[in-house]
Amino acid sequence: MSVEAKQETLGFQTEVKQLLNLMIHSLYSNKEIFLRELISNASDAADKLRFEALKDDSLYEDDSELKIRVEFDEKQKTITVIDNGVGMSRDEVVEHLGTIAKSGTKQFFESLTGDETKDSQLIGQFGVGFYSCFIVADKVEVTTRRAGLPRAEGVRWSSDGQSDYTIETVDRPKRGTKIVLQLKDDMDEFLNAYRLHGIITKYSDHITLPIMMDKQGEDETGEETVNKATALWTRNKKDISDEEYNEFYKHVGHDFQDPMTHVHTKVEGKLEYTSLLYIPSKAPFDLWDREQRHGVKLYVRRVFIMDDAEQLIPSWLRFVRGIVDSDDLPLNVSREILQHNKVIDSIRSGCTKRVLGLLKDMAEKDVEKYAEFWQVFGKVLKEGVIESSDHKDDLSKLFRFASTHEDGKEDQTVSLEDYVARMQEGQKAIYFVTADSHATAKNSPHLEIFNKKGIEVLLLSDPIDEWVTSHLTEFDGKPLQSVNKGALDLGDIQDEEEKKQEEQKNKDFSKLIERVKKVLDEEVKEVRITSRLTNSPACLVSDENDMGRHLEQILQASGQAIPGSKPILEINPDHPIVKKIDVESDEDLFKDWSHILFDQALLSEGGQLKDPASFVHKLNALIVSLAD
């Protein structure tokens, strides 16, 4: 590889410029976090080196005591952070300090509104990182050398954080990274040992490496360690404050905000490991990104092994952040080994149970907080019942839905346990309706009979709900039953009298049914008298064993060619329109009425008309004929 000694000036990626701009303005009131970010990166760099050195200890180059040093110079107005971690090659510098390599970055920046207050909240979800040094500095110089590369392949990067940076190859005897911040004029407050000590102990006490500063005072010489420098998770729970837990979270989770809650467990016995798992308070910006990183880091006997060890936590808990430190895995464990490993399997199942337990606890003790959690992560958690049946019971208790009981309000707050507790005598099933919006679900004609009888119906409008209900088919021994599928069996809620009436009506209207069926032969499988409707003239339902109507819509919308099954048209003989049709002798008008009946039933479930113009045309013709 040839080394480019020349100095180059390169432009920042557009997203970096946006980030710099946004950050400098929005984080100005919290300037001191720049040091936390730099120390966090230095610590990550040390972790990486330690891991690489497991295979090749020559990378240590006679300097295996990893540490971080913080210096300041009052005259020059500089702050310097030095580490002897893994360092960066020239390519890595360009990649990491000139672009944002995270997946989903583009989408994130597209979601920015231009409104500073709103955007400054979003920035927290994104994580600020290295670029935060430009909050306090108007010039930053990074000198670094990748472990294992010759001293001639050092790199110097320097920028004023405006639109470009320069990079050159330099001689660098020492491995690792040195970052010099030239402070802005009004940042003198940071040129003070007490202030820096304070910031380090506040944010970086948990960092496992010693963070060194020169001793202060007239006759003091030499260095001292400013932080505790022990792995936080190895300490006793009762000795760790909430602040310490929170700061550790920000470091491992690359997040800017406090987490919602955490669970810290030491497992002893046949397997020994410690897990410290956090639930963030906001969704990470890449929650829906397929390549998103899983946030649990794996350590083996305090040595960092890998980020985002997806084997440690199922993908439906991908928002969980934290660490697992195992005593049993070999230090040279690789991703491939993790895939078929009994130790990992049992750690994963332990971690899953612990997170579910944590959520259960929150749901019981702090309903409001749990509601917040559900709003942010509910959709992800729902994937859990689809992916496997292992945790179905625990998961289904954690689910929350909108329901007609809550006046049809959109918030998802009703649990299946609540629902079951409110079931009426004789009610055999848990009823739900699925639709592609809350309003469509809530106003679905299929609910009419339920509303009349005061039977609660769950209103499901997340796209994933179709899959959830096809996997979660019962709760507490009660079947989950779609209100727009199959013949309606209201169990003992419908009394004998009503059942008889229904049969009678089917007989009384058998001729009408025949006539409508003939007209709509192409569109429907069957026409029958409804027991669902009280106000609407007609609705569509699907056969017990056919795919649900809404699922069909979703699949069709996603371009999947599915053999569409014909629906069943149910008509309400008590409705004036149906009464009118029944006595309509003009065959052409009768046809128009029948088509309108079908089309409006389709519209009210959120479906798409095959020929909307013809619907409007027919409707108008009828309105005119009525007006005559």
Task: Quote the tokens at residue 150.
Answer: 């010759």
Residue 363 has, within 13 A of its CA and on its CB side, a CA count of: 22
Closer to ligand ADP at the Cβ: 86 or 578? 86
CB of 210 to ligand ADP, least distance (A): 16
Cβ atoms of residues 108 and 127 within 8 Å? no
CB of 388 to Mg ion, least distance (A): 34
The SS3 call for residue 82 is strand
User: Which residue matches tokens 């009994």?
Assistant: 342
Picked from ligand ADP, Mg ion, none, the partner binding residue 42 (CB below 5 to 8 A depending on kind) is: ligand ADP
> How many residues bind ligand ADP, per CB under 6 A?
16
Using CB under 6 A as the binding rule, whether residue 103 contacts ligand ADP is answered as: no
Which DSSP string corresponds to 462-481?
STTHHHHHHH--EETTEEEE
Using CB under 6 A as the binding rule, whether residue 250 contacts ligand ADP is answered as: no
> Residues 129, 253, 259, 284: which binds ligand ADP (CB under 6 A)?
129
Q: Which span (122-130, 194-202, 205-213, 386-394) binds ligand ADP, by CB under 6 A? A: 122-130
Residue 81 phi/psi, 5° resolution? -120, 125
Cβ atoms of residues 381 and 399 within 8 Å? yes
Using CB under 6 A as the binding rule, whether residue 284 contacts ligand ADP is answered as: no
Which residues have CB under 8 Å from 345's CB, separation 6+? none
Which residues have CB under 8 Å from 272's CB, separation 6+? 326, 327, 328
Q: What is the rounded distance in angstroms from the CA atom of residue 475 to the CA atom of residue 491? A: 17
* Exposed / middle / buried, residue 419 (Cβ in 10 Å: 0-12, 13-18, 19+): buried
Q: Which span (41-49, 185-193, 322-330, 372-380) binds ligand ADP, by CB under 6 A? A: 41-49
Using CB under 5 A as the binding rule, whether residue 275 contacts Mg ion is answered as: no
Cβ atoms of residues 202 and 193 within 8 Å? no
CB of 81 to ligand ADP, least distance (A): 8
Strand partners, 274: 266, 325
CB of 483 to ligand ADP, least distance (A): 47
Closer to ligand ADP at the Cβ: 252 or 430? 252
CB of 32 to ligand ADP, least distance (A): 16
Strand partners, 78: 73, 182
Using CB under 6 A as the binding rule, whether residue 253 contacts ligand ADP is answered as: no
Strand segments, DSSP code E, in 114-242 are 137-145, 154-159, 164-170, 176-183, 211-214, 223-225
Using CB under 6 A as the binding rule, whether residue 158 contacts ligand ADP is answered as: no
> Residues 98, 104, 127, 284: which binds ligand ADP (CB under 6 A)?
127
Using CB under 6 A as the binding rule, whether residue 37 contacts ligand ADP is answered as: yes
Q: Which span (48-56, 126-134, 502-510, 561-569) binds Mg ion, by CB under 5 A? A: 126-134
> Residues 88, 209, 359, 541: which binds ligand ADP (CB under 6 A)?
88
Residue type, 563: P
With residue 333 as reference, give the H or E element that holds it. none
> How many residues bind Mg ion, per CB under 5 A?
3
Closer to ligand ADP at the Cβ: 44 or 552? 44
Using CB under 5 A as the binding rule, whether residue 177 contacts Mg ion is answered as: no
Using CB under 6 A as the binding rule, whether residue 96 contacts ligand ADP is answered as: yes
Q: Which span (33-41, 315-323, 325-333, 457-465) binds Mg ion, by CB under 5 A? A: 33-41
Using CB under 5 A as the binding rule, whether residue 41 contacts Mg ion is answered as: yes
Q: What is the rounded distance in angstroms from the CA atom of residue 466 to the CA atom of residue 448? A: 21
Closer to ligand ADP at the Cβ: 23 or 433? 23
Q: What is the rounded distance in angstroms from the CA atom of residue 429 to the CA atom of residue 435? A: 19
> Residues 32, 47, 83, 325: which binds ligand ADP (CB under 6 A)?
83
- State how beta strands 321-326 and 273-279 pair: antiparallel
Using CB under 5 A as the binding rule, whether residue 295 contacts Mg ion is answered as: no
Q: Which span (23-31, 38-46, 342-350, 467-475) binds ligand ADP, by CB under 6 A? A: 38-46
Using CB under 6 A as the binding rule, whether residue 84 contacts ligand ADP is answered as: no
CB of 50 to Mg ion, least distance (A): 17
| Angle CA 158–162–168, to nearest 5 | 20
Q: What is the rounded distance in angstroms from the CA atom of residue 178 to the CA atom of residue 69? A: 9
Which among 237, 87, 79 is positioned nearest to 147, based on CA atoms?
87
Using CB under 5 A as the binding rule, whether residue 445 contacts Mg ion is answered as: no
Which among 244, 211, 214 is positioned nearest to 229, based on CA atoms?
211
End-to-end Cα spacing for the chain: 89
Picked from Mg ion, ligand ADP, none, the partner binding residue 293 (CB below 5 to 8 A depending on kind) is: none
Q: What is the rounded distance in angstroms from the CA atom of residue 20 to the CA atom of residue 438? A: 39
- Among positions 549-588, residues that touch ligand ADP (CB under 6 A) are none
Closer to ligand ADP at the Cβ: 251 or 532? 251
CB of 256 to ligand ADP, least distance (A): 11
Binding mask 129-148 for Mg ion (x = CB under 5 A): x-------------------
Which DSSP string corresponds to 420-449?
HHTPPTT--SEEEEE-SSHHHHHT-GGGHH
| Angle CA 24–26–31, to nearest 5 | 65
User: Which residue minimizes CB distance to ligand ADP?
Assistant: 129
- Among positions 177-196, residues that touch ligand ADP (CB under 6 A) are 177
Using CB under 6 A as the binding rule, whether residue 41 contacts ligand ADP is answered as: yes
Picked from Mg ion, ligand ADP, none, the partner binding residue 85 (CB below 5 to 8 A depending on kind) is: ligand ADP
CB of 413 to ligand ADP, least distance (A): 35
Closer to ligand ADP at the Cβ: 177 or 536? 177
Picked from Mg ion, ligand ADP, none, the partner binding residue 591 (CB below 5 to 8 A depending on kind) is: none
Residue type, 353: K
CB of 85 to ligand ADP, least distance (A): 5
CB of 255 to Mg ion, least distance (A): 11
Sign of CA dihedral 277, 282, 284, 288: positive
Using CB under 5 A as the binding rule, whether residue 530 contacts Mg ion is answered as: no
Q: What is the rounded distance in angstroms from the CA atom of residue 599 to the CA atom of residue 593? A: 10
CB of 368 to ligand ADP, least distance (A): 31
CA 504 to chain CA centroid, nearest Å: 52
Using CB under 6 A as the binding rule, whether residue 42 contacts ligand ADP is answered as: yes
| Angle CA 108–109–115, to nearest 5 | 110
Q: What is the rounded distance in angstroms from the CA atom of residue 445 to the CA atom of residue 453? A: 14
Q: What is the rounded distance in angstroms from the CA atom of residue 541 to the CA atom of residue 290? A: 35
Footprint of ligand ADP (CB under 6 A): 37, 41-42, 44-45, 83, 85-88, 96, 127, 129-130, 177, 254
Q: Which stretches of the chain bind Mg ion, using CB under 5 A?
A: 40-41, 129
